[in-house]
Copies of this chain bind each other. A is one copy, B any other.
Amino acid sequence: MPRQVDHDQRRRQIAEAVWRLATCGGLEDVTLRQVAAEAGVSARLLQYYFGTRDQLLLGALEILNDDAERRARERLAMLGEAPGMHAVVRGVLLELLPLDAERRNRHLVYAAYFVRFLADPALAEVARAAPHALENLVAGLIAQGQELGQVSRDIDAAAEAAFLVAGADGIQATVLLGQRTPEEAVVLVDHQLARVFTAAIGG
């Protein structure tokens, strides 16, 4: 059935236009007419595929989230088999940094949506799940590292995971603002990881 594919491709084409506009001028620049022009379709099509403007913003965010999760899984799979706790945690944290255009734009879009997350319940639900799941994932990996002797028993896995994720998130913002290069950001993350994991970086 090529129909569902076409349908999803159209939605993606429109969603990408939303992202581009949001990264440049925030959500206030994401007007139906501008999105239509950016996507190269008629404004009527936005209504057809998404409905109202709020639903368009919500839909574009859902597609972005799906992309983020899929790409993260791909990159983690590229670490090879049995990658080791250190490498996996590193991979998760690096996913939060704007190391390439794709991740940079993704986090810019999240920033544009941020304030709306607090007011709009529908958006809040979409954004609520991800960060907490990330922390738990990292906490679990650190705890596993403790059982394998790669991490000291002295450290609090949950507290350390929360601060690592939060730190990566904060460093992300500084990179987006141009106050730090992506390379410097990676060095900072690795510095903290080296403290938590006794083994060296190269697995």
Residues of A bordering B, CB below 8 Å? 22-28, 108, 111-112, 114-119, 124, 127-128, 131-132, 156, 159, 162-163, 165-171, 173-174, 176-180, 187-188, 191-192
Contacts and interface: CB of A to CB of B under 8 A. Distances in A.
Given A25-B119, A131-B177, A131-B179, 10 more contacts: A24-B119, A26-B27, A26-B28, A117-B177, A127-B177, A132-B179, A156-B191, A163-B167, A163-B192, A166-B174
A132 B180 CA distance: 10
- Number of copies of this chain in the oligomer? 2
10 contacts: A26-B116, A111-B115, A118-B176, A124-B177, A127-B177, A128-B179, A132-B179, A159-B191, A163-B167, A168-B170
Nearest to A112: B115
Given A26-B27, A170-B166, A191-B156, A111 B108 contact: no
